[in-house]
Amino acid sequence: MSVQPAVLQDSFARELPELAVRWQAQAVSDPQLIVCNESLAANLGLDVDWLRSPDGLQFLVGARLPDDATPVAQAYAGHQFGGFVPRLGDGRALLLGEVVDAKGRRRDIHLKGSGQTPFARGGDGLAAVGPMLREYIVSEAMHALGIPTTRSLAVVATGRPVQRETLLPGAVLARVASSHLRVGTFQYAAMTGDVELVRRLADHAIARHHPAAAEADNPYLALFDAVIAAQAALVARWMLVGFVHGVMNTDNMTISGETIDYGPCAFMEAYEPATVFSSIDSWGRYAYGNQPPVAEWNLARFAETLLPLFADDQEAAVALAMESLSVFRRRYDTAWSAGMRAKLGLGPSDAGPLIDELLALLQANRVDYTSFFRHLGEHARGNPEPARGLFADLAGFDSWAARWRALGPDAALMDRSNPVYIPRNHLVEEALVAATGGDLAPLEQLMTAVVAPFDERPGLERYAEPAPDDFGDYRTFCGT
């Protein structure tokens, strides 16, 4: 095993120099490791003992890199809450480079909170311990749930204070992703008016994420179709676990189909499509139930950047884009319905009306989404009480459950499909507050629960419970 990444490759910076600004991380005099993802490190071929050493910590804050590394800030644009911003980019992040992991997969190593870059737009370029640990917890929980996502390698305290509403301790997150190509990256390239740049970017994306598209008659349309498929599948997975991303701007939507940018995200407890956590999303644009149409809207913005590559004739290009995009809904519905049938322990049957009725019951009774499905598995095994106990309208639920039981639900399939442990908001807050004050025990305990979410274990009961009533209305903040 190598002591440090022998090489950090730089295919992005080399192939797309127009989208990369060479940059250095801000120096950190006394970095302290808060948390390190040992299994991910091993998977990347990084030696864990080295990562924990002073040299490793200097690597994790971007100060000590292999000689030929080319750290860059990446340029991108984006629609933020529907309004277009032509120049966003990595204002406080750096792409250190790419490693090819044990399975031959190329993955970005990227820092967040590593200091101002030319894209900082007045921001301080920094990040606080709490939000970086939040990304660490939630991204690793999503990965354990089987949902495509960027990963978190480590969070390192910088010892530098960060001014938010109050002074907070600073940190750098080391993030791992199959790439950081976003819809907003294409929007930035398209804005330059250089069609050949968009073509090179698309070729890079095809080679990296959707290689089958290269063989198609129209590779760029095939790329668009592949991203539609990946995003339809991804958002269906979010919906099935009750995940609310919170800031689905086009710069926070990947071309790979991985979840990215864990800012104001949170998991829904009581089933309610209008659920919003983000304090700045006052119109509910990114509410739980709006996520599928927002993804489709973002994909339309992606298509606009590719039109000159779809066909020479603009009208023909638009027609092709519309035809492809019309498939999103069907793909999403198919993925979501299949997932929901698995959650109910049912095979490929016509469960449609039964599902609609259940969701109406969950909403009317304000039932905790995650624990309901897990308890329903016990119902399938003949113990209805834990699920029944969640409903005020017992007659309504019993009538539904009788029809569901008649279909012969598979309890083992339900246990594989319905997590016991998700990073519940009150538990995440508890862990972040403790860790910010120097106590890592709650964080470690929460991680133990959420990295094996389907595996119910004694001693972790409180990690399966909804928030206590006095936790109140949960709000998340974007100023991370």
Closest to Mg ion by CB, 187 or 252: 252
| Least Cβ distance, residue 298 to Mg ion (angstroms) | 13
Q: According to the binding rule CB under 6 A, does residue 88 interact with ligand AMP?
A: yes
| Least Cβ distance, residue 261 to ligand AMP (angstroms) | 5
Q: According to the binding rule CB under 6 A, does residue 120 interact with ligand AMP?
A: yes
Q: According to the binding rule CB under 6 A, does residue 425 interact with ligand AMP?
A: no
Residues 188-207 that bind ligand AMP (CB under 6 A): none
Interface with Mg ion (CB under 5 A) = 252, 261
Q: According to the binding rule CB under 6 A, does residue 89 interact with ligand AMP?
A: yes
| Least Cβ distance, residue 251 to Mg ion (angstroms) | 5
DSSP state of 75: P
Q: According to the binding rule CB under 6 A, does residue 90 interact with ligand AMP?
A: yes
Total residues in contact with ligand AMP, by rule CB under 6 A: 18
DSSP state of 254: B
Task: Give 376's contacts (C-beta < 8 A, 6+ positions apart).
Answer: 344, 345, 387, 414, 418
Whole-Å CA distances, 256 to 103, 107, 268, 371: 17, 11, 25, 31
Phi-psi region of 142 (alpha: psi -120 to 50; beta: other; left: phi over 0): alpha
Instruction: Tell me the residue nearest to Mg ion as measured from the CB.
Output: 261
Closest to ligand AMP by CB, 266 or 387: 266
**H or E element, residue 335:** helix 327-343
Binder of residue 123, out of ligand AMP, Mg ion, none (CB less than 5 to 8 A by kind): ligand AMP
| Least Cβ distance, residue 117 to ligand AMP (angstroms) | 8
Closest to ligand AMP by CB, 92 or 204: 92
Q: Residue 469 catalytic?
A: no
| Least Cβ distance, residue 89 to Mg ion (angstroms) | 10
Closest to ligand AMP by CB, 100 or 120: 120
Binder of residue 120, out of Mg ion, ligand AMP, none (CB less than 5 to 8 A by kind): ligand AMP
Residue with tokens 């086009």: 250
Binder of residue 435, out of ligand AMP, Mg ion, none (CB less than 5 to 8 A by kind): none
Q: According to the binding rule CB under 6 A, does residue 252 interact with ligand AMP?
A: yes
| Least Cβ distance, residue 266 to ligand AMP (angstroms) | 15
Whole-Å CA distances, 382 to 75, 301, 354, 412: 56, 49, 20, 13
DSSP state of 81: T
Q: What is the CA radius of gyration of the chain?
A: 23
Residue with tokens 């025990």: 441
| Least Cβ distance, residue 466 to ligand AMP (angstroms) | 28
Q: In the chain, how many H helices and how many E strands? A: 18, 11
Residues 257-276 that bind ligand AMP (CB under 6 A): 261, 263
Q: According to the binding rule CB under 6 A, does residue 453 interact with ligand AMP?
A: no
Q: In this structure, how many other beta carbons lie within 10 angstroms of the beta carbon of residue 374? A: 22
In the set 10, 108, 251, 281, the catalytic residue is 251
Q: How far apart are CA 127 and CA 449, in angstroms?
A: 26
- Residues 354, 403 contacting (CB under 8 angstroms): yes
Q: Which of 420, 421, 441, 422 has its CA nearest to residue 431?
A: 441
- Residues 443, 434 contacting (CB under 8 angstroms): yes
Closest to Mg ion by CB, 77 or 321: 77
Closest to Mg ion by CB, 88 or 387: 88
26-34, 135-143, 246-254, 443-451 -> range binding ligand AMP (CB under 6 A):
246-254
| Least Cβ distance, residue 12 to ligand AMP (angstroms) | 17
Q: According to the binding rule CB under 6 A, does residue 477 interact with ligand AMP?
A: no
Instruction: Quote the tokens at residue 82.
Output: 């529907």
Q: In this structure, how many other beta carbons lie within 10 angstroms of the beta carbon of residue 192? A: 14
Binder of residue 367, out of Mg ion, ligand AMP, none (CB less than 5 to 8 A by kind): none
Q: How far apart are CA 243 and CA 269, in angstroms?
A: 10
Which of 5, 71, 125, 257 is in the footprint of ligand AMP by CB under 6 A?
125
| Least Cβ distance, residue 80 to ligand AMP (angstroms) | 7
Q: How far apart are CA 115 and CA 126, in angstroms?
A: 5
Residue with tokens 């209805």: 384
- Please report, as a single letter, which amino acid is at residue 417: S
124-132, 136-144, 171-179, 267-275 -> range binding ligand AMP (CB under 6 A):
124-132
- Please report, as a single letter, which amino acid is at residue 5: P
Closest to ligand AMP by CB, 10 or 90: 90
Closest to ligand AMP by CB, 9 or 179: 179
DSSP helix/strand/coil, 22: strand
Residue with tokens 């990084």: 46
Q: According to the binding rule CB under 6 A, does residue 124 interact with ligand AMP?
A: yes
- Residues 6, 69 contacting (CB under 8 angstroms): no
DSSP state of 26: P
Closest to ligand AMP by CB, 180 or 424: 180
The catalytic residues are: 251
Binding residues for ligand AMP (CB under 6 A): 88-93, 119-120, 123-126, 247, 251-252, 261, 263, 478
